[in-house]
Amino acid sequence: MPGLIIAAVRDLDPPAGGAEMSLTALLKGVSEPGPLSGANVLYVPCQQSPNVDPAILQQAWRIIAFQSDDRGEATALTENSGIKRHAFPLPIEDVWSGIAWRRRSKSGQPHIKTQRRHLKRANNKFANILRKAIKKEAEEAIRSGLPVIGVTQLHWSAGAATVFQELNIPYLVFVRDELQFIQPELYRSSLENAAAVCCAGEGLGLQVSSTFSVKAVRNVRLPVDFAGRFGTIDSIEIIRAAGLANRASNNDLTTPRIAIVGVTPEKGYRFYQELLPHLANVWPEARIDVYGGGMYAESLQEYDNVSWHGHTSVEDVFSKCDVHLLTVESTGSWGRVINEAGLFGVPSVSVNIGSQPEAVGDGGMIVSADASLDDWVLALRSTYERKTELGEIAQRHAGIVDHRSSIAAFRSVIKEFSEGI
């Protein structure tokens, strides 16, 4: 019989964003038999999986997930999967989270002390509900002689970790963004008592281990199902060619077009307020296309060289741009969009923080965190001038986040920390 994975999170399905989609993909992956990361199986994006010797396949895990029901009913994300989902009537927001956002700083970050008050209350409520539900499931598995391991991430991970610790269940914590660094004391125990902290990329892992006294850090890259999302490489090339043809028909093909996808306080909002007007002065020919919803992205259209497009499909964004730009304020969680751009042959310019250098690889340029605005402009110009060459490299490098490799890495981490339980 398979072992048991207990996932305890605020959100899973419906997802609040990419972090939930990533965790769901990993959990679904290990709910089926598959190889470990050291099995030397080569996965190529948008190509079928190679035949794998059945003798090296690891047993499937049983997955139970506990989450809030505040976002509604489950979607196709977990439908017909190996994940048994339990949703509790716990609100995601409360009066204190609202106050935290209304009192946000000039950089756009929620008021830290008020946010901490909201998160403490939410984590305590989550822990109180989890105790009974998790205890029953875990005890049944343990009586059957099966290994049990917990998984959590993000906002309610402190509450989940408290219960895992009380029940002596080893657990993994995924660090996805800046939250644990902004509220270190709230999440310190959950991270430092975890069997391992999982990060997408070694760079983010180094940030974690230099901030917290964690027991172990493991690299589990973002799982991106390129074939499921975009089809074949030929399909991607057709989409890209159509986008460039559309630009040519509008006499726009010689205009340098730089895409920014998603803007938040952590993802460059304050920096873009400095860079974009400077870019307009020193490289007026370049146009900046900003994509994504929210007031931060929308506000950037105040600059003359910027067009804001709102929510737009990845296909539409990267079929028409020349260079992709992504920066972060402090926490270098892996920029999935860098490799999505790469799949379409679009190179990226990003910052030397956390895992961004790993995400870009040689398919673009990395700028120092303390670089001047002119250094950023130089990197963007240089990448634009070499866009064909760097785009080809970026497309090959995109395979680093192929979901099958990431699932194999996650399966290996689970095996490592569940053996001997």
pLDDT of residue 145: 87
pLDDT of residue 78: 92
Return the percentage of the chain with pLDDT > 70, whole number: 99
CATH 3.40.50.2000 positions along the chain are 4-223+402-418, 227-400
Give per-residue pLDDT as tens, 25-80.
Answer: 999 999 999 999 988 888 888 888 888 889 899 999 999 999 999 999 999 999 88
pLDDT band at 287 (very low <50, low <70, confident <90, very high): very high
Give per-residue pLDDT as tens, 79-125.
Answer: 888 999 999 999 999 999 999 989 988 777 899 999 999 999 999 99
For 419, other C-beta atoms within 10 Å of its C-beta total 8
pLDDT band at 357 (very low <50, low <70, confident <90, very high): very high
Average pLDDT for the chain: 94
CB 147 within 8 A of CB 59: no
Number of residues that this document lists for the chain: 421
Can you give the three-state secondary structure of 333-389, one letter per residue? CCCHHHHHHHHCCCCEEEECCCCHHHHHCCCEEEECCCCCHHHHHHHHHHHHHCHHH
pLDDT of residue 420: 58
Residues 184 and 191: their CA atoms lie apart, in Å, by: 9
274's tokens: 């400095």
> Tokens 């509790």 map to which residue?
88
b/e 239-260 (16+ beta carbons within 10 angstroms → b): bbeebbeebeeeeeeeebbbbb
CB 383 within 8 A of CB 323: yes
CATH class of 4-223+402-418: alpha beta
pLDDT of residue 331: 77
Residues 162 and 127: their CA atoms lie apart, in Å, by: 7
Residues 381 and 379: their CA atoms lie apart, in Å, by: 5
Give per-residue pLDDT as tens, 154-168.
Answer: 999 999 999 999 999
Q: Going by CATH, does the domain composed of 227-400 fall within 3.40.50.2000?
A: yes
Give per-residue pLDDT as tens, 227-270.
Answer: 999 999 999 999 999 999 999 999 999 999 999 999 998 899 99
Q: Starting at the edge strand that comes first in sequence, how are the strands of the sheet with 217-219 ordered?
A: 83-88, 62-68, 4-8, 148-153, 171-175, 196-199, 217-219
Closest CA to 232 of 221, 223, 240: 240
pLDDT of residue 204: 93
pLDDT of residue 28: 96
Q: Which helix (H) or strand (E) holds 291?
A: strand 287-291
